[in-house]
Structure 1
Amino acid sequence: MGAENEIAVTEFILEGFPELDPRLQVFFSQVLLLMYLTTVMGNATIIFLVCVDHHLQTPRYFFISNLAFLEIWFTSSTSIKLFVMLSSGQNTLSLSIYFAQNYFYFALGCTEFILLVVMSFDCYVAICQPLLYAAIMKPQLCVHLVVAAWVLGFVLLSYRLLFLLELSFCGSKIPHFLCDNSPLFKLSCSDTSLLWKIDSVFISRVVLGSLCLTLAFYIATFSVFCILPAASGRKKALTTCSSHLITLSIAYGSFIALYTCPAEDVSLRTNRIVALLNTVLYPFLNPFIYSLRNKSVILVLSRSIAKARTKLFP
């Protein structure tokens, strides 16, 4: 689009899923609301249990509770607006809200990838250096690692706001349900080549870099499996890492599918489906993958429910 077609855009229209029947959209909105509430309650339960029970106040669950907190905000940044769009048809966003959602979506995603590296490092130390685990994973180090993940995630993505605020647009209809890059850049009358290049560097350095670090920790971890003295030791180590591996597959798989394939090679419908997996399904599964199927967490949860029941019905 040329500069001569530039119009004064004050808001964007998210088209969402226009191909769906209105009744199906209402049904989908109810399913989405149920999943969102379950996501928030499940992740909030993990945070609550880690805070109130000293048995779960370990580095592993400290990192998991931070991931749970992140997932609440990550899914809220997109699911709430999607629910409103599907249930009431209100699909407009002001430029400032659109840019804010775009920034938080990518900043929280970047923070998550760094947290996943930290958690893989914790898993590596727990299995490969069990005798030194307490000496290495001190509370101060755990706090510093988490703070670094949050600060880096939001600082590294701050360049986006500066570039987005300088763009001008030749249209207002976004064929998506969230504030993604590709449809936004296609509407821009400005030259977005520099922003495309910076995003490409970001993907290759941060996302793929964090993936390489995570895989390196797991390769080192799996190499220890072969020399563990008993099958029970191998089973325990594998159980420790299995939930993390499931999370990695979903997180990195969906992101790579969305942002490393050329836009013209991926249909809009496929892009939206993968985005749903990333923003709705993955945060929904997180509490079950990490904690709510763990015997220790279930025991603490049962104990907390019993205490609450005793107080309410003495």
Structure 2
Amino acid sequence: MNGAVAGAPVSFGVFELTPEGAQTVSPDAMAEALQESGYRGIDLGPAGFLGRGAELRDRLARFELELAGGWVQLPFTDDEAFEASLGELDEALRIFGDAADAGPSLLPLPTLADAGSTARSAAPGRGAAVDPLAASVADRLYRNVERAAGIVRAAGFEPTFHHHAGTFVESPQEIDAFLAHSDVGLTFDVGHLVLAGGDPLDAARRWGSRINHLHLKDVDRTRVAEILAAGGGMAEVWAGGAFVAFGQGDVDLSAVMDLMVQTGFDGWVVVEQDVLNGPDVAIGRFLQERTADQRVNREALRAWL
């Protein structure tokens, strides 16, 4: 396989939903942990977390990492809110441009995602039941994704779209519909597909030719079932230990990787073990635990990358 492996801030508890007041792993400590564990890239995390301009390029160079991609969540089903959010897309693209100025071997992929709804986020995997997507609203979503994709391409990057539990592109059926209405490549997130009731192997076979970005997770299905049965939403899934180190969950990652090789996939493989740390976490111990997991995850992929 000709792809490359990247780590992600979300594996260290750093993303848009990190609790206010919680201690977080510093960008340098995270980058050092990934470098020493054998990763070649890192995902963006919250805009500005890794720096901007020369600061970003210097940090990536010091730790011999390239920028793999980055989450850009937009309210695609609401025209007015979408229009108001385009400044966030422009800001993210400027940061991608800063990283690309260093001449990386693989360009980062701006990772577009739907913002979903409060009802869907509170009921991952049950979105179609709790907040169904009307045909007219789905058409609006597809139209706005195409507009965002055009902006990304005009900036010199290729977009990718992330299906995500708790959003309006969650279930296998919703992903099928999205792919039928868009030419944007798919970020295949194994863990979020499991949350939405999908089969990763079936998905890799069906969508392999459309996948241009891969987010790998292992999932403890028993823990997920417990969280959802107790009425938990996405926040509880992230905080509840549903995503585990490779080999400790129920996803056949070897079979997924073999199928991706068969499709000729040659892009970024981003390892994500989403965690949401609380405000009272001992950050030094937390960093050690997260680093240990990421070493396990990197070693698990040596057969392919």
The structure with more strand, counted as a fraction of residues: 2
- TM-score, normalization by structure 2: 0.25
TM-score of the pair, normalised by structure 1: 0.24
Rg larger in structure: 1
User: Higher helix share goes to which structure?
Assistant: 1
